[in-house]
Amino acid sequence: MMISFMLMMPGMIQAQTNDLQTPQEAAPVKRQLRAVWIASVVNIDWPSKIVLTKEQQQTEFINILDKSKAMGMNAVIVQIRPTADAFYRSNINPWSKYLTGKQGQDPGYDPLAFMLEEAHKRNLEFHAWFNPYRVSMDTRIEDLVPNHPARLHPDWVIPYGGKLYYNPGIPEAKEHIIESVMEVVKNYDIDAVHFDDYFYPYPVSGQEFADEAAYQKYGAALFPDKADWRRHNVNTLVGELSAAIKQEKPYVKFGISPFGIWRNKSTDPTGSETNGLQSYDAVYADTRTWIREGWIDYVTPQIYWNFGYPPAAYEKLVSWWSNEVKGRNTHLYVGQAAYKIDTSTPPEWKNPEEMPNQLKYNLLFPEVKGSIFFSFKDLNRNPLGIKDRLANDLYKYPALVPTMPWLDSQPPKKPKLKAAHRSREGVKIYWRDHNRNDSAYFVVYRFEGNKVLDIGDSKYLLATVRKTNGVFQSFTDKTAEPGKKYTYVITAADRLHNESAISNQITLKVK
């Protein structure tokens, strides 16, 4: 994740949030992506230390999922390839050192298989987060395991800014990256492939990214401007990977989280009213092309600034990105700076309403389909009470992940409720699933009294329940109050969140 010191403009001002039309009360939203980034590089989020045992790692991850679910999340973005390595059994890349402290060392289990099982058990979408080009957090190539692709192909590698990177201009390196991602797509039941904002490395003053030889060999004849060639290299990776994912598993989403500014209006009249680093020019991220070509299913710009921030005001960037995706087959999820709450220099981040107001402001734009927070540990420390605000207010009611009709729009068949009875834990309901493979989970709705009201109102959405093996499924409503009469209905949803018609209803008075 890119930190906002890349904005090249001094001075802060008090945000004039009174001038913004933010909803006073965040109405419940039935469909909204709510996710957290779980970073593994340098053990930011998980595993928290390299000395944890297998059992400690698993317990820690389960705790992360349970706390994320309690905050109202419906997806997790987990970094499984932080530095050209693997948090999964790979025939291409070595085990990550962030698992055991030693690159190439088997952790004694398959972390990705475990994480997927636990996430799906809680009906959380799992987005597998890859860093495509970064090889190492230092420049000592000799410290990589002997069979590391970077050591076998040192001509693919460029040291820059104290790190090692694959050269995006080397065709073989691009093919290796695509192969690395596709190994996971083919072998694991992930819901999405996710890239963050690191493409070409962010510029370091006084240093040049040494790709001149590759440019002369592969690009100079076609691209007189090296910057255009660099963008072409990243575009080729994104476009080819997108096609490969959809050919293998059409339901697997592909999303990218770029730096929050594409280009400034002073550089390009179609850019945003900002004055900061431009990802199009600095890291060669041609986000507009990815959206317009339909290569990515969602874009998550990291809008890591407060309302009214002079170089890059939150409100201006939300509006600009909303316009970029309007009418396109690409969802917009906003990258939210949880790490800045109560820690960053601008006084706005000391205001407990800054982040809630950002989330409420997003609701003014139909193109904004949700948020992803960086990162889990920052939300979990509950700065200025944001964790509590999510659980008890902003994300009080569950939400379904938005559908992507360009990938699939066919809902599954409706299930049939069979019975309901009072149990020690609450009210237990049973139903029959009439879908062999189409359904992935079920949505439970509860109404007081004996009437079924609008299931589009999320305050009636009680829970989502992941499908288990077998025809019959069940759920226990542990919040049912004695003496009240409740009516239950359910729907079936597929893995792309298309929802069936409602089932028959069952009414029960809790004794």
Instruction: Identify residue 310 by its one-letter amino acid code.
Output: P
Instruction: Identify residue 147 by its one-letter amino acid code.
Output: N
Regions of the chain short of the pLDDT cut 50: 3-18
In tens, the pLDDT along 443-491 reads 999 999 999 999 999 999 999 999 998 889 999 999 999 999 999 999 9
3-state secondary structure at position 451: coil
Question: What is the predicted pLDDT for the residue at 344?
Answer: 80
Question: What is the predicted pLDDT for the residue at 435?
Answer: 81
Nearest of 135, 169, 138 to residue 152 by alpha carbon:
135
Instruction: Identify residue 77 by its one-letter amino acid code.
Output: I
The Cα–Cα gap between 265 and 267 comes to 5
* Helix runs in 327-375, H state only: 354-362
Question: What is the predicted pLDDT for the residue at 20?
Answer: 65
The Cα–Cα gap between 339 and 376 comes to 9
The Cα–Cα gap between 30 and 398 comes to 7
- Domains, the chain, ordered by start: 4-134+170-199+227-394 (3.20.20.80), 416-509 (2.60.40.10)
Question: What is the predicted pLDDT for the residue at 17?
Answer: 47
Strand partners, 476: 428
Question: What is the predicted pLDDT for the residue at 26?
Answer: 57
Query: Sign of torsion, CA 25 30 32 36?
Result: positive
The Cα–Cα gap between 181 and 240 comes to 12
Question: What is the predicted pLDDT for the residue at 19?
Answer: 54
The Cα–Cα gap between 260 and 3 comes to 10
